[in-house]
Amino acid sequence: MSLTLPADAGEPLPATLVATAKVQRHKFAASTRQISLRNTGKNTLWLSLDKKNWFDVACGTSWDDRVKVDELWYCTQLGRTRFVVVGLSLMPA
């Protein structure tokens, strides 16, 4: 089933990523207006939108927020975890 969005909703920017104990960065192809994330792995994911403030996303849970960012940082405390992130791009003015 394909995702159908209103014409002015912006373009979905999906990525499937694997977090490890090393901090990694994901750069979106364009600035976002909203981010949705689902931790499909077995470990807690640590996420930062500014590389200063971190918050956790427990395994099997999701997180979303309306936020304008170009990139995000992520890691785990231990092991690896897989997650899916979808940024919704800003529409050009």
Whichever domain contains 65, its CATH number is 2.60.120.10
- The strand order across the sheet containing 24-27 reads 24-27, 71-75, 45-48, 54-57
Residue 1 lies in a domain: no
> Between these two residues, 48 and 2, which has the higher pLDDT value?
48
Mean pLDDT of the chain: 89
- The strand order across the sheet containing 81-89 reads 12-19, 81-89, 32-39, 62-65
pLDDT digits (tens, 9 = 90+) for 25-69: 999 999 999 999 999 999 999 999 999 999 999 999 999 999 999
Residue 4 lies in a domain: no
| Structural domain total, the chain | 1
pTM given for the model: 0.85
State what percent of residues in the chain have pLDDT above 90. Answer: 77
Domain boundaries, position 73: 12-89
Residue 50 lies in a domain: yes
Residue 59 lies in a domain: yes
The C-alpha atoms of residue 27 and residue 74 are separated, in whole angstroms, by 11
Residue 28 lies in a domain: yes
